[in-house]
Amino acid sequence: MEVTPYEEPSVRVRSLASLGSAVEVDPNVPVMRYFRSGKEIMRMADVYYDERNYENAFILYSKYITIFVEKLPKHPQYKQATPEDLKDTKKKVKQAFPKAEDTKTKLKQIFEKDFKLWQEKEKQRLAKEECIRQKQERMNEEQRRKHEEDEVERRQLQEAKELSLMEEQQRIVEEQRQAFLEEQRRAQQREEAEQMALETSTAAAAAAAAVAAGAEDAGLPPPPSYDAVKAGGYSVYKPAEVDTTIPKSSLRPSPPTIDRSLKVDRSTKPMNLMSTVTASGSNRYGLRDLFIPRDTVEKFLVIARENTTLNLETCGILAGKLAQDAFTITHIVVPKQTSTSDSCTALNEGEIFDVMDSRDLLTLGWIHTHPTQTAFMSSIDLHTHCPYQIMMAEAIAIVCAPTHNQTGYFSLTQDHGLQFISNCKEVGFHPHPSQPPIYEEGQHAKISINSSIQIIDMR
Ligand SMILES: [Zn+2]
Ligand SMILES: [Zn+2]
């Protein structure tokens, strides 16, 4: 189990300790089972310790202490405990305390180291981020400056253009004025010429008339008529209308605006530092994997065959080992038992546990046959299974239905069925509500192709 090293080492140790103390003793589970499970808890804790999985070791040592020092003495059957069990427990509690202390010390050192490492990495990460931020800031500043420069240049260009337009306009006006004056001058010349011609011809005519009439006082020619000049139609001077607005197309396109709110996109950054390693199991309850040898059912059906032909159930205890934070079933312990067509009861439980104890085995569930029925969990099966799963969350119930060629690998639903069945006080076959589901196929149970089951038949 790994935890993202954000928390202070002391906080991490404390949260592990609280996991260790978060254990309840169910008064409906026989006290005997707790003594058996206690041995298995210590066995598992030692495996974790040897494998240097100090977190899980610490949780289990803490659990052991919580159960046997604090909780179990309040169990209604505690006084019925055998002197051997009490003696063994006393011995184990004495071992559990220093082991819990030892793992705690080791964990503190590990967590301190983790934390320092994390702080170092965090410092580097922040420095890198600051570096990126400053770079971005510099880029923004540069773009802002460039934008301003462009703006100045654009304004200068526009002013120059306006000036040249104005000059052009003045030039046109001047040209028009010159043209007007030139036209006026020409008109005057024409008029003078016409006048002169008129005068000449009038004088000639008068002279001729005078000659003809012999008159001496032919008189002066009439003054030139200005009406005629006016009627000549000179255009009245009027400056040309020039559009001084600057055509839009002549404007420089404005430079792209920079969104200064733009942040560094952290989603593309590697996230290794932040990632949390998943809980030990990959299934939805975070359970450890439980490996079942592929020949388990086959071998069990062989030793159950005689009962099956007599339409009698057969049952066995699934036992196994813990290694690398996963369970593997290694044995089926078949106890002395009495059975009917739809029930099976193990006799002399103590004998079963002695056999398992001598082999350092853990109780990982049970297996039984349904000689004629399909593979399902009857209400009695659910109640039989419940204590197994209370003791070991990964415990599984294998139901073999040879006549239907079916096998079920069942567990009570962790979020409902386990609580529901442990609270159900009914006995014998009785209905349970089907929703929400009380049991399901255990997702953490996996068939292991490279291990084989061993059968210890005690019948
Ligand atoms: Zn059954
Ligand atoms: Zn019930």
Write out pLDDT tens, residues 407-428. 999 999 998 999 999 999 998 8
Q: What is the pTM of this model?
A: 0.65
Tokens coding 54: 């100090």
Distance 317 CA to ligand 2 centre (A): 22
Distance 432 CA to ligand 2 centre (A): 6
Q: Is the pLDDT of residue 133 over 70?
A: yes
Distance 41 CA to ligand 2 centre (A): 28
Distance 416 CA to ligand 2 centre (A): 13
Rounded to whole angstroms, the Cα distance separating 332 from 455 reads 5
Residue closest to 64 by CA, chosen among 36, 86, 92, 87: 92
Distance 372 CA to ligand 2 centre (A): 23
Rounded to whole angstroms, the Cα distance separating 49 from 298 reads 35
Predicted confidence band at 245 (pLDDT cuts at 50, 70, 90)?
low
Q: In the prediction, which pLDDT does 49 show? A: 96
Write out pLDDT tens, residues 450-459. 899 999 999 9
Which residue type, as a one-letter code, is found at position 62? S
Show the DSSP H helices in 323-395 as ranges. 349-358, 379-391
> What fold, for 290-457?
Cytidine Deaminase; domain 2 (3.40.140)
Residue list, CB under 5 A from ion ligand 2: 424, 426
Residue boundaries of the structural domains of the chain: 1-277, 290-457
Distance 333 CA to ligand 1 centre (A): 17
Distance 376 CA to ligand 1 centre (A): 7
Distance 402 CA to ligand 2 centre (A): 26
> What fold, for 1-277?
Methane Monooxygenase Hydroxylase; Chain G, domain 1 (1.20.58)
The mean pLDDT of 65-86, rounded to a whole number, is: 93
> Which secondary structure element, helix H or strand E, spans residue 44, and what is its range?
helix 31-50
Ligand that comes closest to the CA of residue 426: 2
Distance 430 CA to ligand 2 centre (A): 6
Distance 427 CA to ligand 2 centre (A): 7
